[in-house]
Amino acid sequence: MSSDTNINLIGKNLQELEELCEKNNFPKFHGMQLFKWLYNKTNTSIKDMTNIPEKLKTVISHNYNINLIKVEQKFYSKEDDTIKYLFKTKDKRLIESVSMIDDSRHTLCISSQIGCSVDCSFCSTGKMGIIRNLDTGEIIEQIISIKHNRKKPITNIVFMGMGEPFLNYNNVIKACEILTSPAGFNLSTKRITISTSGILPKIERYINEKQKYKLAISLNASNNTMRNQLIPINKKWPIEDILNTIKKYQFNKYKPIMFEYVLINGINDSSNNAKELASLLKGIPCKINIIPYNTINNDYKRSKNIEIFINTLNKYKSNFRVLIRKNKGQDINAACGQLATNNE
């Protein structure tokens, strides 16, 4: 038997679990059994896995990590059915995830990194800098932990928590594959949204691989001058390059691309900005998700021009839909752009 001390069990896909069994001289089919226990039954207690041989349980217990994160604190919103979770990792780092329930919809906002290197000027996480990527298992365990904590079945997962998902591309896509596997969480691909600030090489890879999860681009500006100020990586990958790449994306009515636009007072919220945005996105079947800015103790303020901006967009719209995001969990700093582990 081989020793793989400090290798994470959670986060391994089916092929890796089958290889783990064979490497330790157990039949391959136990890999599927482990996969179902971990991701379908979301059972992370090895001793409770009734159809796994005792010898294999011993090997796993001695050589593999299972519980990679633990709940450090929970914050309950008084305004809506939102809970923010503060998790601590094995290396004593902190990450945040958010559970939002709205009628029959239960959405988890999941983190993909500890901190973030993109440094968007309106986002609290960016102020932390980057500490490290999350392992696939740490991504999955956020979901398992919240699933055990809340009775409402999880319906949607958005990678819009801490970090830039496309700078942790492999682990995020691997987590999504586990989440959508029929033997795993069995979520539909259209129930998962990955949001990126515009990491162009990874957007191209995502399109070339024909990934089926919903894609959201955090645009937040109607011209490059403004976007350079809000999202510094725009100097490397400007708006027109992103939009030219997006036009290669296979759109359909179930998975239209989403452009997120955080409205900041006096910065990107004028009627002229709305006209520019409508012109930019002309000919791209998409949704525009308008997000009222959430304060993070800096010079920016929430737009006072939201209604005029949306009305102007609707006036000039071609083949896009305009939505406005409900801000949930603002009172516990759980809303869009507010996630940052102050303890770091």
CA 2 to chain centre: 35
Q: Do 14 and 32 touch, CB atoms closer than 8 A? A: yes
Q: What is the pLDDT of residues 305-342, one digit of tens each?
A: 899 999 999 998 777 889 887 666 566 665 454 445 55
Q: What is the pLDDT of residues 54-64, one digit of tens each?
A: 999 999 999 99
pLDDT at 111: 96
pLDDT-derived band at 2 (thresholds 50, 70, 90) equals very low
pLDDT at 251: 67
Beta bridge partners of 69: 89
Q: Do 219 and 260 touch, CB atoms closer than 8 A? A: yes
Judge residue 19's burial from the number of C-beta atoms within 10 Å of its C-beta, 0-12 exposed, 13-18 middle, 19 or more buried.
middle
Lowest mean pLDDT among 29-33, 169-173, 182-186, 327-331: 327-331
Taking every pair of Cα atoms in the chain, the longest distance, rounded to a whole number of angstroms, is 68
Is beta strand 214-218 parallel, antiparallel or unpaired with respect to 257-263? parallel
Q: Do 300 and 340 touch, CB atoms closer than 8 A? A: no
The DSSP-derived string for 234-293 is GGTS-HHHHHHHHTTS---TTS-EEEEEEEBTTTS-SHHHHHHHHHHTTT--EEEEEEE-
The domains found in the chain, sorted by start residue, are 7-65 (1.10.150.530), 69-332 (3.20.20.70)
**Closest by CA position to 84, among listed 309, 342, 329:** 329
Find all residues with CB under 8 Å of 227, minimum gap 6, and list them. Answer: 219, 220, 221, 234, 238, 239
pLDDT at 327: 64
Pairwise CA distance, residues 143 & 64, whole Å: 20
Residue type, 108: L
End-to-end CA distance of the chain: 39
Structure tokens at 177: 């594959």
Average pLDDT over residues 247-260: 78
Average pLDDT over residues 97-114: 95
The per-residue pLDDT of the chain, averaged, comes to 90
Average pLDDT over residues 11-32: 97
User: Strand (E) positions, 164-256?
Assistant: 192-196, 214-218
Pairwise CA distance, residues 163 & 124, whole Å: 11
Q: Do 196 and 217 touch, CB atoms closer than 8 A? A: yes
**Closest by CA position to 327, among listed 8, 102, 30:** 102
Phi, psi of 90 (to 5 degrees): -60, -35
pLDDT-derived band at 166 (thresholds 50, 70, 90) equals very high
pLDDT at 337: 45
Q: Which are the catalytic amino acids?
A: 96, 336
